[in-house]
Amino acid sequence: DDMLLPFPSFEEWPRHSHRHVRDCQPDIFGNATHETFSAHRNSNITVPSTTRYFVTKVVDSLGNVKNGYGHYTVINNPLRTFSVVEPGGSNGCIEERRRTVLNTSQARTCHVAVNAGFFNTHTGACLGNVVTDGKRIQDSGGIQNANFGIRKDGTIVVGYLSELDVLQEDNPFVQLVTGVIWLVRNGTVYVNESQTTECADMQETGSLDRFVNVVSARSAVGHDEEGRVVLVHIEGQTGDRGVSLWEFSDYLQRLGLVNAINLDGGGSATVVMDGTVANYPSDHCADNPAWRCARAVSTALCVHSL
């Protein structure tokens, strides 16, 4: 029996608390880099969403007052009525397609659709994390940009995600999209913090500082206190009309959004309602720049029937 003794008994193993183990994990496991919230569920509410229009006074950093025009869509039961959709539907990212939001909304039969993820304007490649209706299309490898997603159990997740967070299998993401700049975190304006931590590569407007401060058309996705997903769009034209991300996040906070991220904006900002473009896209038409045309973009966010 002596043969068994050199192996230390359980009591002799070096031990430390679970807390110690957790503190020593490397960064790849992520820490409090994102927020979670239970998505709204109410089987008595069968209308998937409500869209309202606003005209609001916006005060800029110099104290000048301007008007902001846009759309505010509140989505009930988002686990069943809200989807991230590839450009033109299935395989849109693999094929590096660019499609108008109208085209994408027809492919997925959306009541309401808005432009979503950033894309490479030279190749058409989708950028960031993309999960659509439970299908993982691509992951960003843990690049620090703001994400918005819903996991299988109905947990809304907003913020920075490690690659392991994205690839987690126990309660996988069913919808996931990446933006640039986490606008509102837990009810507070989070532009300053996100500007210092986020990667500038996904957007092509310029430095992160210019991207944040320039006035433009903007699109955002977030959630309210009830866990309803909220889409907000505001009209603009890069460098001429619209809002900075400071002004946008301030407005989103006042609308009661708990968390929100900034999606692709500028000439990409498009709102489609029941098969019709409902906003004034700022992109100039290729055939005649006197007119404005809805740009062919990347992913879209879609509100559909149950």
Helices of type H across the chain: 18-23, 78-81, 101-108, 163-167, 191-197, 208-213, 245-254
> Which listed residue (250, 266, 272, 299) binds ligand M6P by CB under 6 A?
266
CA distance 118 to 282: 17
Show the tokens assigned to 196: 């210092």
β-pairing, 229-234 with 188-189? unpaired
The alpha carbon of 239 is separated from its chain's Cα centroid by a whole number of angstroms, namely: 23
Q: Segment contacting ligand M6P (CB under 6 A): 42-50, 52-60, 141-149, 265-273? A: 265-273
Tell the smallest beta-carbon distance from residue 39 to ligand M6P (Å). 31
Tell me if 224 contacts ligand M6P by CB under 6 A.
Answer: no
Contact 47, 87 (CB under 8 A): no
Q: Segment contacting ligand M6P (CB under 6 A): 39-47, 69-77, 177-185, 278-286? A: 278-286
Which string of x and - marks every residue 189-208 that binds ligand M6P (by CB under 6 A)?
----------------x---
Tell me if 235 contacts ligand M6P by CB under 6 A.
Answer: no
Tell the smallest beta-carbon distance from residue 126 to ligand M6P (Å). 17
Tell the smallest beta-carbon distance from residue 267 to ligand M6P (Å). 3
Q: Segment contacting ligand M6P (CB under 6 A): 13-21, 98-106, 254-262, 280-288? A: 280-288
| Three-class SS state of 107 | helix
| Three-class SS state of 102 | helix
Tell me if 120 contacts ligand M6P by CB under 6 A.
Answer: no
